[in-house]
A = this chain, B = another copy of it.
């Protein structure tokens, strides 16, 4: 049988009250006694029964996903998953909600984070560009005892904040590898399109992509990144320009999660059916484009895993546990028609 606090008290030669004081960091215990208890914990392998503790504390975990106001189908899918996962986690006394704010304004994000009360929320998953105000606000949250993770975007480099999402450099490298192999012996240029190169994920994907292209596929020339800014007409224009300026386009890589507009522009170009086209994230659109052979592969991260991972990490941090790293590494999925 698993040892309880009672067993621990006996093993440490102290009373239950003292064990309680030590376990919950209450004052008025001699250093020597603390050590006696700590040693007994190791000796008998005591592990606090978190369920029982949460029951006694009436603890419920409340987590918040802070998402941008504007978003693509992938964001919708994430929000749907949060509701689904939240449902499934009620048994674990966890509830998760979504709040959407204008992520383009770092101060709004920071203000929102600053306005969160300790009684209101136990942890936040923030999806917003990494800017000093946001980083500061997240650090201040942590100081106040509210856990924070970076969700998909904006992993602070030199911070110890947890990050939930794929390794974007590796994702770009994987795209390049796949594209190089799919294109085969042909030579030519590669179109690279994104919503904005301001976003950290786009930058990293591009770097990974270029690294592999340069190293392994010298016959392929990635063109400078085209930015769509999310506007359909602009996308149409820059893609058409790129095709008319480069008659040798053999591949297209859409960096951003918003794939629909760029992909539709690309497949509308003459001769586009011979262009190997790779995009990110599984959405109703990318899925049907893959089935219709308009896309050759999708580089994806599983929305359900992302959401669950964020919640597991936040919960672990709330319990002062270390998350299981091997479980929380989000895999880069390669989707083809046959493994959708």
| This protein's copies in its complex | 2
CB distance from A168 to the nearest CB of B (A): 11
Interface residues of A (CB under 8 A from B): 2, 47, 49-52, 54-55, 60, 84, 88, 90-93, 170-171, 173-174, 176-178, 181-182, 184-185, 208, 212, 296, 302, 304, 308, 321, 324, 326-327, 331-334, 336-339
Given A49-B93, A51-B52, A308-B327, 5 more A-B residue pairs with CB atoms under 8 Å apart are: A88-B324, A178-B336, A185-B185, A304-B326, A333-B334
B-side contacts of A2, CB under 8 Å? 60, 93
B-side contacts of A332, CB under 8 Å? 339
Interface of A is mostly: helix
B-side contacts of A184, CB under 8 Å? 184-185
Is A339 in contact with B174, judged by CB distance below 8 angstroms?
A: yes
CB distance from A298 to the nearest CB of B (A): 11
Among B91, B182, B324, B338, point to the contact of A208 (Cβ < 8 A).
B338
Closest 4 CB pairs of A and B: A51-B51, A173-B338, A184-B184, A334-B334
Among B93, B174, B308, point to the contact of A338 (Cβ < 8 A).
B174
Among B51, B52, B326, B337, point to the contact of A84 (Cβ < 8 A).
B326
Chosen A-B contacts, 24 in total, with CB atoms closer than 8 Å, are A2-B60, A2-B93, A47-B90, A49-B55, A49-B93, A51-B51, A51-B93, A55-B55, A88-B327, A91-B321, A170-B338, A170-B339, A173-B338, A173-B339, A174-B336, A176-B338, A181-B182, A304-B326, A304-B327, A331-B331, A331-B339, A332-B339, A333-B334, A334-B336
